[in-house]
Each structure stands twice: as structure tokens, then as C-alpha cells.
Structure 1
Amino acid sequence: MTETPLDTGPRQSRQVARQQAITEAVMAEGTVRIEQLAERFDISVMTVHRDLDELEGRGLLRKSRGAATAMSTSLVESSDVYRTNRQTSEKEALALAALEFVEPGQAVMLDDSTTTLHLVPHLRSRRPLTVITNTLTIMDQLRGANGITLLGLGGQYFNWCSAFMGGITTSAIGALRADLFVMSTAAITDDVAFHQSLETNDVKRAMFESSTRRILIVDHTKFEKRALHALMPLSAFDAVIVDSATDRRDVARLRDKGVEVVVARSQRQVP
């Protein structure tokens, strides 16, 4: 039977719902075999592949050796949707520690990391501020906020991180000077910040160079991860904020190198 246009609405709705369920399942488990997804959702392997192709195109998941995965590798960063729900208590502690560096009247530059995103709701306590960012999520949270002047950096939009990057973005950053830059990174190797994406590195380096003070906020898992592209040594930052679960040997080594390391108090430690 020839399918009529009236049939496409319900079918599309089912597809959207199924892809949402697949996304949630993979993000919850990190990695799921394609055959398992086909069995779980009672669909063909071919349908799973089509769904994953679309989800991969949107930067949410990716296919890797017969599996769907949301986790990052040394070459590919995971989506901001996945990263947002990881190490949330540690990120909140890091954000509160970073807030101590923010003063009313400053121009503050924020990168596209989900760790920095935890700082955004607290910025209202430091008004007036000018906030400069390339991250659409931060723009959405701060638009219309009283006492906060929002400067949004445009450019090419990357769905996997909900941010604008590229030459247009770095050119705009180069024309600005911020008092403070707060950023995170995907991985730390040999006490150097690394990231999987050259575009991300270019934007963060431009922000770093356009700011007077630079603060790096990283949870302990970043010391266990790997990425391809070196950004800069941790010794280049004015302060590196880590969470309380960070290995004491990492903290001691950085301090021996002259790095100002701030260990954020966990929320359980706060009276």
C-alpha cells in the first residue's frame, strides 16, 4: 500500500520518541552494543544504524565498532548533553571555588565546558558583570538577567558542544579584553591541558590570550583521560582549581612546579 502523507506524522513521532529513548539508554550506560539496542527496542539492526547515523549527525552519540557510545575518546569529545550529568557535585564545588575569583564590575569570559556552566547561576551574586561567551547554553541562561551585560560570540555552530567556534569566533575574541577567563579542559597529560578538537583549542587559546587572569577548573577524572591536541601547560594559569577527590600526588606535583592549586571543598564538607 502506498503511504499517504497522513501516515508520516505518527511514524515520525515514533521515530523521535525512539531516538530519544536510545539516546537516554546509551547516555545512562556509556556504551551499548547495536544488537542489544535492536533487541531492547524491538527494531531491526538496520533501523538502529539509521537512528544512530542521525543521532551522530546531531553530535549526541556515535557508532564505534558495532556499538553506540556517548563516552569521549582521545580523538572525539562526548556531547555536552552527556557531560552535563557527569561529576555534578564535583563541578558544583569547583564552580563555587571559582566564584571567589569573580568581582563586581569585571568582564568575565567563559568557555563551553559543562564544568564552567555550573558557575553561571551564581554570577548574579557578583553583579554588575559583563559576561563574554561562545556557548549558547550560557547565553540562554543569562539573557535578560538584570545587572549582567551579555556579549555573545558568534561563528560556526557546533551542536555537540552547543557552542560557536571557528575563525569568526576567534577574531571577535581578539578584539576584546576580559578581566577574568574561567575554563575547563577535556584531559590533563604531563600537567598539560589537552582537548580532542582543534577548533576548541583555538577558541580557548584566544580567550586565554585576551584575558588578564586565567582560571582552570578541573575535576579529578581529567587527570585520568587522554586527548590529542595540547592546549597549554597548567603552569600558565593564574590558578588551577581541583576537586577534593584529586590525587594528592597530583596536587603536590603541581605545587612543586609553582602552580597555584586550589582544592575546592565538597558540598559534604560545607557546614
Structure 2
Amino acid sequence: MKAAARREEILRYLEENHTGYTSDLCKVLDVSAMTIRRDLEVMAGQGLVTLIRGGAAINHGTAVIYSLKFRQTQLPLEKQRIAARCAAMVSEGNSVFIDCGSTAERIAEALRGKKNITVLTNSLDTAQVLSSAKGIRLIMVPGEFNEDIRGFNGLLTTDFIQRFRIDYLFLGANGLNAQHGLTVPDYADAETKRVLIRQSRHVIVAADHAKLGGDFFEIVARLPEIEAVVTDSGANPELVQEIKAGGTEVYLV
């Protein structure tokens, strides 16, 4: 089992049991204590767990920020389908903003074949994907670099964004539900998203099914401010209906 898959299994175990001891995790995953300790140290560095004597406890709470590197390992096929549906909305001559997030790079890859479009982004990974794409005018948004999201935020970012009118805004999400709408754990990321929404004609949230029902520290936008959500077919039908009832279209892929 590869390290990313093993750490995902550790996270699932901790979600169910709240804490996990190295000896128990060794038995569950059939690996050495050294391997488990190394995994827990990496996950602690990502803010996912807190190390305790003999093991680790999962970090819960609305302000927990899961690193982008970890999120990029989750549901890759679902994110690829979501990205393809988002890219299909974009036509020649459109302006597009791609937000930071684990699905952002997939959307950028899906847009590479488009011609005569302008893409703005504050995502370093998105900029790298599109830097060699012919037919795409790429604008990198400045700001203070945030390693957790591998992108730029802050006053310089929001001031720059306000110069533009955007046709399609593709937003990432940490959590999305009917009660609070789109939520994220980080204040600077939330403020950037709020400004982007004000500058955009079509606001699309690209989120895999694991994000639906989630609730985080900062409220970015209520459902009436979001035109559509693109998610995968693994989404809970009840959550999908609640979002639709709030006036937001949901596309299942």
C-alpha cells in the first residue's frame, strides 16, 4: 500500500475512533511501528492529527485546514469528471477565474484545449498547468503566498481582482450545505472568494461529494449567491435536494 493510501486509511480509523495507538494501527494496516510513527508525524505536520503518547488524535473543528497536498490524493477520478463538466461551460471569448483547491488543477487541465479564452488564477498549480497552453491568455493574480492552498491571498489579491469582470468563476469548497452555504476554514481565502463572487457573472462551485454537508469557520456565500454546484454521483441525495431547494442548480457527474 502506498503512503498516501495508507494515511487515508489512518485518517478513516481516527475519524471512527477519535484516537489511535501505534500498536493498534500496526495491526490494522499490517505495517511496522516505524512506518506508522512516520505517517503520523507527516499527518501532524499537515494539521490533520495531534500526536499523543503512543499514537495520535484526529483534529476536528471548523478551523482545521487540510493541506492541498493531502486533498489532491482524494477522489481523483471524481474530480476529473467534475473538471470536465466545468470546462464544458466555457466558450470561446469567455473570461474564467480558477480558484485554489484540489479540483483547480483538474479544471485547468480540462481547459487546455480551449481557444481564445482568458484565465485568471491565484493558484500556483493552475498557472503552471496553463503556462504552455496555446490559445489561452493567462493572468496570474498577485498576493501573499499561502502554502496550505498553494496560492495567493491578501489585500493585494483582492485589490487586483476588482479590476476585472469575470464570466465564469470556478470556486473550490471545504464545506457546502443548505444552512450556511459555502464555507472555508481560512479568513484570507474566504475574503478572496467573496470579492471574486462580486466580480463574476456565473458562480460555480466545483466540489466532490465529500465536501457536501461540511461546515467550516468562515461563511463565504449563501446558496442564493451560487448559480450551480458541480459534484460527483456519490453525493448524498438528501444533501443534493437541500441544495437545490435553496435555489442552486446541482450537476451530478
Range class of TM-score, shorter chain: 0.7 to 0.9
Q: Give the 3-state SS of the residue equivalent to 2:97 in structure 1.
A: strand
Contact 2:223/2:248 (8 A) holds in 1: yes
- 2:33 pairs, out of 37, 40, 62, with 40
- 1:135 pairs, out of 123, 135, 151, with 123
What TM-score do you get using the length of structure 1 for normalisation?
0.75
Tell me how far apart the structure 1 counterparts of residues 84 and 243 of structure 2 sit (CA, whole Å): 21
Contact 1:242/1:262 (8 A) holds in 2: yes
Unaligned runs of 5+ residues in structure 1 are 1-20, 265-271
- 2:217 pairs, out of 219, 225, 228, with 228
Q: Which residue of 2 aligns with 1:268?
A: none
Q: Give the 3-state SS of the residue equivalent to 1:250 in structure 2.
A: helix
- Runs of 4+ off more than 6 Å: 21-24, 69-72
Tell me how far apart the structure 1 counterparts of residues 138 and 48 of structure 2 sit (CA, whole Å): 33
Tell me how far apart the structure 1 counterparts of residues 160 and 205 of structure 2 sit (CA, whole Å): 22
- 1:122 pairs, out of 102, 106, 110, with 110
Tell me how far apart the structure 2 counterparts of residues 114 and 95 of structure 1 sit (CA, whole Å): 11
Q: Which residue of 2 aligns with 1:192?
A: 181
Tell me how far apart the structure 2 counterparts of residues 141 and 134 of structure 1 sit (CA, whole Å): 13
Q: Offset at 1:65?
A: 5.0
Q: Residues 145, 71 of structure 1: CA spacing in aligned structure 2 closer, same or farther, 3 A cutoff?
A: farther
Tell me how far apart the structure 2 counterparts of residues 223 and 84 of structure 1 sit (CA, whole Å): 17
- 1:247 pairs, out of 230, 236, 244, with 236
Unaligned runs of 5+ residues in structure 2 are 26-31
Q: Which residue of 2 aligns with 1:269?
A: none
Q: Give the 3-state SS of the residue equivalent to 2:113 in structure 1.
A: helix
Structure number with larger C-alpha Rg:
1
Q: Offset at 1:212?
A: 1.4
Larger mean Cα displacement after TM superposition, 129-138 or 210-219:
210-219
Cα deviation code 1:123-178 (max 9, x no counterpart):
12221211101111111111122111111112111111111111111111111221
- 1:112 pairs, out of 67, 83, 100, with 100
Q: RMSD in angstroms over aligned alpha carbons?
A: 3.1
Tell me how far apart the structure 1 counterparts of residues 182 and 75 of structure 2 sit (CA, whole Å): 19
What TM-score do you get using the length of structure 2 for normalisation?
0.80
Q: Residues 48, 98 of structure 1: CA spacing in aligned structure 2 closer, same or farther, 3 A cutoff?
A: closer
Tell me how far apart the structure 2 counterparts of residues 207 and 230 of structure 1 sit (CA, whole Å): 14
Q: Read off the aligned partner of 1:29 and give its amino acid letter.
A: I
Contact 1:214/1:239 (8 A) holds in 2: yes
Q: Which residue of 1 aligns with 2:10?
A: 29
Q: Offset at 1:91?
A: 1.2
Percent identical: 21
Tell me how far apart the structure 1 counterparts of residues 81 and 200 of structure 2 sit (CA, whole Å): 23
Q: List aligned pairs for 1:1-271, cutoff 5 A.
A: 26=7, 29-30=10-11, 40-41=33-34, 56=45, 60-61=46-47, 63-64=49-50, 66=52, 73-189=61-177, 190=179, 192-264=181-253
Tell me how far apart the structure 2 counterparts of residues 213 and 119 of structure 1 sit (CA, whole Å): 16
